[in-house]
Amino acid sequence: MRLLFAYLKNKSKVILLFCLFIIIFAVVSILYNLPSEPIAYAALLCTCLGIIFTGFDFWQYSNKHHLLCKLEESITLSIDSLPTAGNLLELDYQNLLKIVHQDKMQLVSKADSARTNMVDYYTLWAHQIKTPIAAMRLLLQSADNGQNNELSSELFKIEQYVEMVLQYLRLDSTSTDFILKRYKLDDIVRQAVRKYAKLFIQKKISLDLSEFDCEVLTDEKWLLFVIEQILSNALKYTHEGRISIYMDCPNSKTLVIEDTGIGIQPEDLPRVFEKGFTGYNGRTDKKSTGIGLYLCKRILTKLSHSISIESDVCKGTLVKIKLDTANIKVE
C-alpha cells in the first residue's frame, strides 16, 4: 500500500492533467449540447485504457523498486547491476552515482594502502624492539640485585605493551586466523599465572587458584592473551589482599577472576570496554591506555565468548569470562 501511494504521488501531475482533460471535454460537450452517449463511451474507453496503462506502469515501477532494495546490500561494492535508466533524468542520476562511487573507491583504496603501510611499519617495529628487550633482560639477569629486580619488572611491562601492540594490529588484519580446538582450561590459566608469578611475589599478593576439570572450544593464543590482560589489571589495581581464579559453578564454563583491589566507579562500569576509556582509575593512574579491556571484549566476541565485570569501590572487582561457544564444527 505504501508503494502504491508513493507511485500515485510520483504520477500526481499526470493524473491531474488527465482529470483536467475530462473536465474540459465535459464542459465543451455541455456548452455545445453534444450527445452524451458517444462522449461517455469515449470517456469509458479512455478510462479503461488508462487503467491498463497505469497498471503496467505500476508493475514496472514496483519491479524497479524491489531491484533497488536488493541492491542496497551490494551497491557499496559495485554499481554494475543498476537497472537500465528509463529516461534521461534517471541516466543523469546514475552518472552522478558512478562518479561518487568511483571517488569513494579511490578514497578507500588510499586509506587501505595507508593502513597497510602503517601496520607493516608497527609490526616490524614491534618485532625489532624485542631484540634489545631480550638483550636487556640477559644483562639484568647477569647481576641479581634489588635494583635489577625493579628494572626487570619495568622491562616486563614494556614486553607486555609490545605484545599488546602486536595483538592490536593482528586483530583487524585479514591474515588473522583463529584456530579453534578443544583445550584444557587449566593449562591455559596456569600459563598466564606462571607469566605473572614474579609480580605476585613482588607485590605480596596471594593467589587462590582452583583446578579446572573442563575443556573449552577456543583459540589458545588469543584466550591466553585475554586472561593475561585481566590478570595484569588485577595486579595493577590490587595493592594488598588476594586474587582468586575459579569457575562460577561446577557445571558451568564461566571463568571468574576476582581481586580485592580498588574497584571501579559505578558510573564507569558501563563504559569499561570502550576503546580508549580509562575512567576514574585511569585519571589516577596516568599510564592507563584504555585499550586492554577493549581488546579483550573484541577478541572474546570473535571467539563466540563473552565477558562481564562486577565491581565495588574499595572492595574489589570480579571479571566473568563465559567460555560457551556457538555450535561450531571442528575439523
**Would you say residue 103 has pLDDT above 60?**
yes
Residues 150-167: what's their mean pLDDT? 85
Q: Is residue 82 situated within a structural domain?
A: no
Least confident window among 156-170, 203-217, 250-264: 156-170
In a shared domain, residues 221 and 318: yes
Q: Is residue 78 situated within a structural domain?
A: no
In a shared domain, residues 197 and 290: yes
Q: Is residue 151 situated within a structural domain?
A: yes
68 pLDDT tier (thresholds 50, 70, 90): confident
Distance CA 82, CA 64 (A): 10
Domain count, the chain: 3
Which pairing describes strands 242-247 and 306-312: parallel, antiparallel, or unpaired?
unpaired
Are the CB atoms for 84 and 68 separated by under 8 Å? no
In a shared domain, residues 198 and 257: yes
Q: Give me the pLDDT at residue 232, please.
A: 92
pLDDT tens profile 10-55 = 888 888 888 888 788 888 888 888 787 887 788 788 888 888 988 8
Q: Give me the pLDDT at residue 331, please.
A: 45
Q: Is residue 223 situated within a structural domain?
A: yes
pTM of the prediction?
Answer: 0.67
In a shared domain, residues 232 and 318: yes
**Would you say residue 330 has pLDDT above 50?**
no
175 pLDDT tier (thresholds 50, 70, 90): low
**Would you say residue 128 has pLDDT above 50?**
yes
- 81, 82, 87, 90 alpha-carbon torsion, rounded to 10°: -150
Q: Give me the pLDDT at residue 328, please.
A: 52
Domain end residue (candidates: 17, 41, 69): 69
In a shared domain, residues 187 and 317: yes
Task: Tell me which residue range forms the domain holding 42.
Answer: 2-69
Half-sphere exposure of 196 (CA within 13 A, CB side): 25
**Would you say residue 200 has pLDDT above 80?**
yes
In a shared domain, residues 150 and 278: no
Q: Give me the pLDDT at residue 258, please.
A: 96
174 pLDDT tier (thresholds 50, 70, 90): low
In a shared domain, residues 305 and 195: yes
Residues 154-162: what's their mean pLDDT? 87
If you ran DSSP here, which 8-state letter would residue 78 be given? -
First to last CA, the chain: 50
Domain end residue (candidates: 148, 171, 194): 171
Q: Provide the percentage of residues in the chain whose pLDDT is more than 70.
A: 92
Q: Give me the pLDDT at residue 149, please.
A: 77
Domain end residue (candidates: 147, 171, 195): 171
Q: Is residue 99 situated within a structural domain?
A: no
Greater confidence (244 vs 27) lies with: 244
